[in-house]
């Protein structure tokens, strides 16, 4: 029998020289391909920071608040698909990461959060800056590690990255006591790890996939409902090909934006509470709804008993626990999405599918698009800049090629309405947890990941103030992130709900001076002065409120060589439309 010489050998465990546990952590991160860590030091993490000063391949970025660092790691992860890494000290440093970890958990983002912990002898004794971070994060992580044996560090860190990035991505916490960081030992770096209870990615059977294709082929009004799982599985190309082969229209969640070009005739863009009328109505009236990597959350379904009542529902998800959690699926399919789409494409090309005639369905959809065009019509002001104007102009000036991060509020909904995302991983927003203060640090993280791209934080004054200190990080680290600040002196989304449902009573939603709130050109009443604040951080800025200044100011912001804050004073009276009120269905959508 002929034999071939062995040219490749299976990876082997490697033994390193004696070093401190803290240096082992850095070596492990470098072995995992980590190129940047967002880390704020403290007493219980000093050893780790000392080790970072000796790193050869790893850049450390110092945020000005641990939450800022966590959201920078989140933005980095969203923009790359790699695990974002952040680090904090014990006690309050660690608890400042809790919101970031919960945010990553809700949006299925790979995040590795490393925290220092007090010496093991003090754990459980209310020592200075001690918290049970392992325990308190259990409900909001894929997994938590409390490292009690220094020799386990290489194995645990490798497991952490495997868990964070495989299957349905999510956050992992590694809590490391100070004595573990200080222990000197000879580490063994494992080439691979076995994680009991974590099977290989599931693959749907051909029988299951052929049943899905049969349902689509027989449908009169099918819709593909796509979510963030498409981006997590890196299968946007497969989705686009599958959509073409089946002919079905595609409606996306906000997490899935960019997977399908918005100008494609089959695209319904995004649907849900503030999404397109055509998208919402098409999903509502569908007879076969194929969900690909989404979770039927309340901002999508509205009142569940009114959601897609006549549809046969197919639900593809890599996480079996999502099946039938919010909406009962007639055909739950437990599968990795890239495999499922690739295999269905192969089956279609092998003649296992007859493309349905959907001309009548698209005639209806196209009439909805004509009657309720997108972007949605708004009453433009002759004098004042509206948020819609600013975002639309930004889209034009960047040709839709920028990476956009947002805070949370009205601007977060206007952003995808008037900035059309044609590529995956270009819209970065806190969508499950809805965390104010997310935009600026997330944009910084995305800019670090893509230094040659234009990255803009579209923010509101309320959300922006919550992590404004990260301007210092942008300045000192030379991160040229831009901020388009839509300043209406109010908590705009809450004000909108007050206007709609509470007779306009202001329940502490005015951020400026209540006695002077008025038109955007009442400049003496605009507080605080965000341009002066930016200048205080050493960052260039400009403030405008007249329409004729908008395009030039946005061009100046984009072209500026460094971070820049453009404050745009806008009216507070605008509402985000369309709008499906809570406990209502798609046919209850408000358009005025």
Of 129, 181, 388, 417, which residue is the catalytic one? 129
- DSSP 3-state of 339: helix
267 beta partners: 250
Residue 559's φ and ψ, nearest 5 degrees, are -80, -10
Q: Tokens representing 189?
A: 């770096």
Task: Report the chain's C-alpha Rg in angstroms.
Answer: 25
Beta carbons of 355 and 217 less than 8 angstroms apart: yes
> Rounded CA gap, 260 and 62, in Å?
36
Residue 66 is among the residues annotated as catalytic for this protein:
yes
Residue 117 is among the residues annotated as catalytic for this protein:
no
Residue 178 is among the residues annotated as catalytic for this protein:
yes
Residue 8 is among the residues annotated as catalytic for this protein:
no
Give the helix ranges, DSSP H, for 236-384. 236-246, 277-285, 298-301, 337-349, 359-371
Element (H, E) at 20: strand 19-20
Beta strands 427-428 and 455-460 are unpaired
Beta carbons of 428 and 446 less than 8 angstroms apart: yes
Burial class (CB in 10 A: 0-12, 13-18, 19+), 498: middle
Residue 119 is among the residues annotated as catalytic for this protein:
no
Of 128, 192, 218, 310, which residue is the catalytic one? 128
* CA 581 from centre of chain: 24
222 beta partners: 288
| Residues whose CB falls within 8 Å of the CB of residue 207, separated by 6 or more in sequence, listed in order | none
Give the max Cα distance, the chain.
92
Tell me the helices (H) and strands (E) count for the chain, helix number first: 23, 22
> Rounded CA gap, 581 and 586, in Å?
9
Task: Please tell me the chain's helix, strand, coil percentages from 3-state DSSP, rounded to the nearest 5.
Answer: 40, 15, 45
Residue 240's φ and ψ, nearest 5 degrees, are -60, -40
| Residues whose CB falls within 8 Å of the CB of residue 146, separated by 6 or more in sequence, listed in order | 117, 134, 175, 177
Please state whether the peptide bond connecting residue 528 to the residue before it is cis, i.e. omega within 30 degrees of 0: yes
Closest CA to 454 of 478, 426, 474: 426
Of 20, 82, 158, 178, which residue is the catalytic one? 178
Of 493, 537, 557, 579, which residue is the catalytic one? 493
Closest CA to 259 of 247, 281, 243, 275: 243
Q: Tokens representing 28?
A: 């492990």
How many C-beta atoms surround the C-beta of residue 573 within 10 A? 12
> Rounded CA gap, 109 and 392, in Å?
28
How many C-beta atoms surround the C-beta of residue 451 within 10 A? 10
Q: What is the DSSP letter of 351?
A: T
| Residues classed as catalytic | 66, 128-129, 178, 493
């Amino acid at each position: 029998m002929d034999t071939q010489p062995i040219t490749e050998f299976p990876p082997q465990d490697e033994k390193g020289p004696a070093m401190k546990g803290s240096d082992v952590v850095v070596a492990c991160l470098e072995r995992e391909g980590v190129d940047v860590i967002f880390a704020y030091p403290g007493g219980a993490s000093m050893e780790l920071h000392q080790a970072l000063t000796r790193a050869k391949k790893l850049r450390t970025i110092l945020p000005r608040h641990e939450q800022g660092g966590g959201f920078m790691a989140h933005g980095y992860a969203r923009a790359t698909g790699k695990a974002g890494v952040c680090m904090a000290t014990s006690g309050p440093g660690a608890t400042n990461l809790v919101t970031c970890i919960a945010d990553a958990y809700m949006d299925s983002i790979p995040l590795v959060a490393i925290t220092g912990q007090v010496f093991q002898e003090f754990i459980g004794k209310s020592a200075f800056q001690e918290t049970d971070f392992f325990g308190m994060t259990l409900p909001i992580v894929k997994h938590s590690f409390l490292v009690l044996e220094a020799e386990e560090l290489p194995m645990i860190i490798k497991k952490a990255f495997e868990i964070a990035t495989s299957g349905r991505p999510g956050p992992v916490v590694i809590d490391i006591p100070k004595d573990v960081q200080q222990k000197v030992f000879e580490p063994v770096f494992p080439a691979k790890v076995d994680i009991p209870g974590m099977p290989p990615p599931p693959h749907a059977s051909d029988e299951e996939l052929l049943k899905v294709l049969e349902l689509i082929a027989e449908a009169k009004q099918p819709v593909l409902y796509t979510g963030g799982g498409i981006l997590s599985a890196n299968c946007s190309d497969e989705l686009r090909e599958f959509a073409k082969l089946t002919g079905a229209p595609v409606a996306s969640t906000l997490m899935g934006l960019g997977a399908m070009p918005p100008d494609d005739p089959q695209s319904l863009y995004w649907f849900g509470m503030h999404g397109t009328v055509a998208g919402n109505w098409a999903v509502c009236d569908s007879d076969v709804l194929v969900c690909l990597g989404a979770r039927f959350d309340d901002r999508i379904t509205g009142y569940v008993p009114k959601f897609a009542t006549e549809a046969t529902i197919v639900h593809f998800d890599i996480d079996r626990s999502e099946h039938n959690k919010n909406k009962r699926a007639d055909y739950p399919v437990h599968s990795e999405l890239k495999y499922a789409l690739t295999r269905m494409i192969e089956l279609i090309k092998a003649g296992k599918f007859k493309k349905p005639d959907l001309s009548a369905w698209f005639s209806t959809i196209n009439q909805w698009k004509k009657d309720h065009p997108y972007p949605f019509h708004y009453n433009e002001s002759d004098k004042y800049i509206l948020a819609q104007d600013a975002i639309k102009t930004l889209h034009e000036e960047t040709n839709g090629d920028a990476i956009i991060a947002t805070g949370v509020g009205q601007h977060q909904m206007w952003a995808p309405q008037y900035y059309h995302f044609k590529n995956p991983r270009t819209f970065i927003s806190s969508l499950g947890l809805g965390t104010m203060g997310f935009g600026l640090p997330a944009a910084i993280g995305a800019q670090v990941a893509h230094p040659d791209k234009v990255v803009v934080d579209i923010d509101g004054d309320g959300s922006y103030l919550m992590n404004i200190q990260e301007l210092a990080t942008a300045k000192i680290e030379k991160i040229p992130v831009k901020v388009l600040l839509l300043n209406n002196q109010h908590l705009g989304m809450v004000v909108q709900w007050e206007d709609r449902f509470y007779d306009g009573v202001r329940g502490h939603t005015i951020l400026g001076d209540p006695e002077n709130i008025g038109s955007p050109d009442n400049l003496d009443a605009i507080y605080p002065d965000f341009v002066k604040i930016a200048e205080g951080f050493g960052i260039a800025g400009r403030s405008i409120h007249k329409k004729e200044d908008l395009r030039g100011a946005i061009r100046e912001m984009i072209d500026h060589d460094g971070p820049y804050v453009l404050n745009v004073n806008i009216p507070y009276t605008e509402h985000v439309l369309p709008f499906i009120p809570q406990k209502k269905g798609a046919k209850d959508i408000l358009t005025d």
